């Protein structure tokens, strides 16, 4: 039986327009038709009345870690892959219930994200669509290589490589095990113990060697990159997207525009870290680095906006106090930093769909697209804070939320 959704306000994300009194006709998992509801015969159809709601596509979070839980301790050292997989499944389900019907998981312990993705795709468990990197690829002394005492080796959420040959091998390994994309740790980070979060950790030659393997497989790539030189090397190497991008100069921004590189700024991790400045739950060196990064991040984001860099939406959920299903603060922070509400909604729909090379499946509402739909009380196009007022979630034509989350 066809399902028909009566929409009060409809934002399809094909463009920035909002239409009134439209009907979405759904046949199985896909949208069959969109038309004014006063021209549609509702008899014999399953009708969902969202005539008082703002209806739009399911949201896409292009940067998170399903197996990380937002705590600040080192309990991950005692967890098994089984623990991470179960935790990741529950987090992915929380994200779906929060309106994120598609996730890009960029770095995990082992290959648990791929196991979760495959179980969802088989129908063994319910959850969002997932694009997965498996473990991230980094260098000795980089963010994936934990500084144990000498003689004790081992990383977390990543493969440790040095030199182009090892990078090629790591790229082939993660793709062999089912990764959709590659994730690189091009620089140090806010949470790593390096004193400089912008310090370059992977060379151009190393990243280019691995990206060439990704290109051969038709896979995309993402680089955790805070510092200018690391960002520039990744962009020159052909990276699909820069994640975080705290420090960048005008030359780098110009290069990103020229290359068509996406930028996923992830404001919310530092926001939550700095909320806990002084309470003793987050190490002082992390607080110090977050403060310094924030002082540059906003300005560079505004330069990227002005220059026309393609800006996607990602939250880095799983970082300290950044909990799954609660990551929508990123919308407000992006708008507060200079983006319009229309741009912010587009970033989490059609822009991210393009970033993921899924623009023919998700990210907008049109005939032939998957029936991934969310609805809100209020109008987030007029006030981005209404994005918190989620009241309906559908993925693949199946309803996962029909009551307010707020």
Average pLDDT over every residue of 179-195: 89
Of 19-33, 67-81, 149-163, 180-194, the least confident: 149-163
Return d(Cα 100, Cα 193) in angstroms, integer. Answer: 31
Q: Which residues contact 288 (CB under 8 A, 6 or more apart)?
A: none
pLDDT band at 97 (very low <50, low <70, confident <90, very high): very high
| Per-position DSSP letters for 31-75, written without gaps between them | EEEEEEGGG---TTSEEEEEEEEEEEEPEEEEEE-TT--S--SSG
User: In this structure, how many other beta carbons lie within 10 angstroms of the beta carbon of residue 240?
Assistant: 22
Host H or E run for residue 401: strand 398-401
Q: Using an 8 Å Cβ cutoff, are 272 and 322 in contact?
A: yes
Return d(Cα 343, Cα 70) in angstroms, integer. Answer: 28
> What is residue 369's DSSP assignment?
S
Residue 45: per-residue pLDDT: 87
Q: Among residues 265, 260, 227, which one has the least CA distance to residue 355?
A: 260
Burial of residue 233 (number of CB atoms within 10 Å: 0-12, 13-18, 19+): buried
Burial of residue 315 (number of CB atoms within 10 Å: 0-12, 13-18, 19+): buried
Residue 306: per-residue pLDDT: 98
Residue 192: per-residue pLDDT: 78
Share of the chain above pLDDT 90, in %: 86
What mean pLDDT, rounded, does the chain reach?
A: 94
Torsion of CA 142, 146, 150, 152, to 10 degrees: -130
Query: Rounded to an integer, what is the distance from CA 162 to the centroid of its chain?
Result: 27
Residue 150: per-residue pLDDT: 67
Average pLDDT over every residue of 348-377: 98
Of 272-276, 280-284, 370-374, the least confident: 280-284
Average pLDDT over every residue of 122-143: 96
Strand ranges, E, within 226-366: 241-244, 262-264, 310-311
> pLDDT tens digits for 385-397?
999 999 999 999 9
- Give the length of the chain: 406
Torsion of CA 67, 65, 385, 379, to 10 degrees: -90
Torsional sign, CA 253, 257, 260, 262: positive
Between the CA of residue 130 and those of 26, 107, 126, 133, what are the distances in Å?
Answer: 22, 13, 12, 10
Q: Is the pLDDT of residue 12 over 70?
A: yes
> pLDDT tens digits for 143-159?
888 766 566 565 667 99
pLDDT band at 260 (very low <50, low <70, confident <90, very high): very high
Q: Using an 8 Å Cβ cutoff, are 65 and 106 in contact?
A: yes
Residue 73: per-residue pLDDT: 60
Q: Is the pLDDT of residue 42 over 90?
A: no
Both structure tokens of 379: 């109008």
Q: Which residues contact 77 (CB under 8 A, 6 or more apart)?
A: 156
pLDDT band at 329 (very low <50, low <70, confident <90, very high): very high
Return d(Cα 282, Cα 74) in angstroms, integer. Answer: 12
Q: Is the pLDDT of residue 172 over 80?
A: yes
Residue 309's SS3 state is coil
What share of residues in the chain are helix, strand, coil (percent, to 5)? 35, 25, 40
Return d(Cα 62, Cα 264) in angstroms, integer. Answer: 8
Residue 135: per-residue pLDDT: 96
Name beta bridge partners: 102: 60, 129
Q: Is the pLDDT of residue 248 over 70?
A: yes
pTM of the model: 0.97
Residue 406: per-residue pLDDT: 80
Q: Is the pLDDT of residue 43 over 90?
A: no
pLDDT band at 331 (very low <50, low <70, confident <90, very high): very high
Q: Using an 8 Å Cβ cutoff, are 18 and 11 in contact?
A: yes
Residue 75: per-residue pLDDT: 65
Starting at the edge strand found earlier in the chain, the sheet holding 129-132 runs 59-64, 100-105, 129-132
Burial of residue 82 (number of CB atoms within 10 Å: 0-12, 13-18, 19+): exposed
Spell out the domains of the chain, with CATH numbers in brackets: 3-58+364-401 (2.30.40.10), 59-355 (3.20.20.140)
pLDDT band at 341 (very low <50, low <70, confident <90, very high): very high
Both structure tokens of 375: 């609805």
Name beta bridge partners: 394: 373, 399
Name beta bridge partners: 401: 393
Both structure tokens of 319: 């970082």
């Amino acid at each position: 039986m066809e399902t028909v959704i009566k929409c009060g306000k409809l934002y399809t994300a094909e463009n920035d327009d909002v239409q009134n009194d439209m009907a979405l006709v759904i046949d199985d998992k896909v949208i069959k038709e969109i038309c004014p509801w006063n021209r549609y015969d509702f008899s014999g159809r399953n009708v969902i009345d969202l005539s008082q709601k703002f209806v739009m596509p399911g949201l896409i979070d292009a940067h998170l870690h399903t197996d990380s839980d937002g705590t600040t301790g080192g309990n991950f050292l005692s967890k098994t892959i089984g623990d991470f997989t179960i935790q990741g499944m529950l987090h992915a389900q929380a994200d779906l219930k929060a309106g994120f019907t598609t996730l890009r998981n960029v770095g995990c312990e082992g290959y648990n994200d791929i196991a979760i993705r495959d179980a969802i795709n088989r129908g063994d468990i319910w959850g969002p669509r997932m694009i997965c990197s498996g473990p991230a690829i980094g260098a000795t002394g980089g963010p994936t290589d934990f500084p144990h005492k000498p003689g004790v080796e081992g990383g977390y959420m990543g493969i440790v490589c040095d030199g182009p040959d090892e990078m090629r091998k790591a790229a082939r390994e993660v793709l062999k095990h089912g990764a959709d994309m590659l994730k690189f740790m091009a620089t140090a980070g806010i949470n790593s113990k390096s004193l400089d979060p912008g310090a370059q950790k992977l060379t151009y030659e190393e990243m280019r060697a691995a990206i060439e393997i990704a290109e051969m497989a038709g896979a995309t790539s993402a680089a955790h990159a805070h510092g200018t030189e690391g960002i520039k090397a990744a962009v020159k190497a052909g990276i699909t997207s820069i994640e975080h991008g705290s420090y960048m100069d005008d030359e780098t921004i110009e290069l990103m525009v020229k290359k068509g590189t996406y930028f996923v700024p992830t404001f919310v991790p530092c926001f939550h870290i700095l909320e806990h400045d002084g309470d003793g739950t987050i190490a002082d060196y992390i607080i110090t680095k977050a403060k310094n990064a924030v002082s540059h991040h906003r300005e560079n984001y505004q330069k990227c906006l002005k220059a026309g860099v393609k800006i996607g939406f990602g939250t880095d959920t799983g970082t300290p106090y950044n909990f799954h299903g609660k990551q929508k603060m990123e919308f407000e922070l992006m708008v507060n930093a200079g983006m319009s509400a229309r741009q912010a909604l587009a970033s989490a729909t059609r822009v991210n769909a393009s970033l993921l090379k899924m623009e023919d499946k998700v990210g907008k509402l049109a005939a032939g697209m998957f029936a991934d739909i969310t609805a809100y009380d209020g109008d987030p196009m007029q006030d981005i804070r209404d994005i918190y007022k989620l009241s309906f979630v559908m993925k693949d034509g199946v309803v996962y939320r029909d009551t307010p989350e707020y």
